[in-house]
Chain A
Amino acid sequence: MRTSHNTVFLGVMAVVLASGVATAQNSGVSSGYPVPKGDLTPPQQTGAGLYKRYCVGCHGVKGDGNGENAPYIDPKPRDFTLAQFKCRSTPTGTLPLDSDLIHTLQRGVRGSNMPSWLPLTPENWDDLVAYIKTFSSRWKTEKPGDPIPIPTEPEVTADRVKAGQQLFQRLECWKCHGVEGRGDGPSAPTLTDSKDRAITPYDFSQGGRFKCGATDQDLYRIFMTGLDGTPMPSFADNVKPEEAWDLVFYLRTLQPMKTKERAIAKQLGLKPIDPNAPAAPTPQQ
């Protein structure tokens, strides 16, 4: 009799345990963190679980960038409720592509607390992006912009580096980034982001990686799209694709790495621009 009682008890326990596991699996996600279902699609639900595990500390429960750690972080975490992103392939003022957001997840953001999320799986990235997009209604009413095309990179030449330097002067990049690209231009101390927080221009002498990537293509994309929410404007209307590559090559000479561009600059004996030199003739309107 005792044996059969035990068997029944064990059986009941097994059923309770099994149903508990099943419930946890149903409401839960691959991250192991259960989340409310609400109106979320399955990828968004999974994303919500991942978000609560990895992102909420900085970006906050509401996605507004006011997480627990936010007060101690500079630059501040992104506010997803604005759906405004620095690193995009799309024109200024437009929504980024999903692939742009995934690139940011993979890469992390240099000079900030945003790490690379390469250890996550591609499915995790997709789900996180799906969830991040629930924080702003812009994703329901607008489509991402058309990506700014980046033509094939030409061969770097001395002429291109020199032309790039002229552009650096004419476009007045130095006003913020400084004559040697050290981020110390005359306007640098007054710069603020769109939430009125002080922000510093990129210092090219510091190294290789930019906020939005490390390649020549990334550099091209940064000044053509601009970094929305910051003082960095888009130059897409005023810089032709050919010229854009010249500028990329010149900007590379301002960095400390041993590059082809830097070797050319050395060979040319290229001096920093003189901001007081008479302005180069500009096309008349």
Chain B
Amino acid sequence: MKARYNFVAVSSVLLLLGCSLLFSTRNVSAAAEGKISGTIKLDGTAPHQKPIDMSKEPSCQKIHEGHPVTTETVVTGSGGGLQNVVVYISEGLPVAASNEVLAETPAFDQKGCQYIPHVLALDVNQHFRVTNSDQTSHNIHPMPKPGGGNQEWNKSQPPGSPPFDVSWKTEEVAVHVKCNIHPWMSGYMAVVKGPYGRSDNSGSFTINNVPPGSYTLTAWQESYGTQTQKVSVGAGKPATADFTFKAK
């Protein structure tokens, strides 16, 4: 009986030690981590974005009064900056860093019968929150590639209903999301392993928490696909990586 108590006591102390060690190393690595930043540009003229007719959904049409809504397959900002490009480390990330799941829970909102953001970047197993800010029902219908490990689901979210949290099990760039009730609604979720960045309306992006090392960086845009380049990150030294997509 006594031996058993001893065993329990010793193993709990060991467990505690193990946990504290784990946390302390995590803190150390976080302090030494660098970042990668850059700008995504579009070379050429962006393809014409088709206007969206929301007259069948007056509550959404009203939100966009005076600002015509268009598709968002290619969105450029000032100086040819390309928006909604997801940049991530596709090769070279240490297993520990790629398995670490980002703690923040980004929102995927349905507002004005559009997805905000239009492209959501996510870490594998990172939770995201689906919200409906509209006065109409939406059905959130993500359609991952069959056989890839992520499963298609389809949930309704009537106006005023509470948000819900979900995550994706496997890397997939990118999962297409649509609403069957409002066929013009189209969005993407880029599920990657490890840290990521998403370009803003000026085309710039930043990937934080990158441990020092040499990496292959991939940039994905929904119409133009992917581009890659090599990048080295030194301890405490931010690296730069710019991408240019050719307009088609």
Contact = CB atoms under 8 A, between A and B. Distances in A.
Contacts of A284: 160
Interface stretch (B40-48, B161-169, B218-226): B161-169
A253 interface: no
A282 B159 contact: yes
A194 B152 contact: yes
Contacts of B136: 172
A255 interface: no
Secondary structure class of chain A's binding surface, majority of residues = loop
Interface string B183-195: 1000000000000
A142 to B, nearest CB: 8
Interface in A156-210: 170-172, 175-176, 186-187, 190-192, 194
Interface string A195-231: 0000000000000000000000000000000101111
Interface in B90-148: 131, 135-137, 139-141, 143, 146-147
Contacts of A191: 180, 183
B4 interface: no
Interface in A243-285: 279, 282-285
Interface residues of A, number: 36
B146 A82 contact: yes
A238 B135 contact: no
A92 interface: yes
A232 B154 contact: yes
B135 A279 contact: yes
A71 interface: no
Contacts of A231: 139, 141, 154, 180-181
A229 B160 contact: no
Contacts of B139: 231, 233
A81 interface: yes
B164 A229 contact: no
A94 interface: yes
Contacts of B151: 93-94
Nearest to A176: B181
A224 to B, nearest CB: 11
A80 to B, nearest CB: 11
B128 to A, nearest CB: 15
Contacts of A279: 135, 159
B156 interface: yes
Contacts of A235: 156
B138 to A, nearest CB: 9
Given A81-B146, A187-B180, A279-B135, A92 B154 contact: yes
Given A81-B147, A231-B139, A237-B164, A187 B182 contact: yes
Contact of B155 (A92, A175, A187, A282): A92
Contacts of A175: 137, 181
A89 to B, nearest CB: 16
A46 interface: no
B135 A226 contact: no
B77 interface: no
17 contacts: A92-B155, A171-B137, A176-B180, A187-B181, A226-B153, A226-B156, A228-B152, A228-B154, A231-B139, A231-B141, A232-B154, A233-B141, A233-B156, A233-B180, A234-B155, A235-B156, A236-B155
Q: 6 tightest CB-CB pairs across the interface, nearest first? A: A93-B153, A282-B160, A231-B180, A233-B139, A172-B137, A233-B156
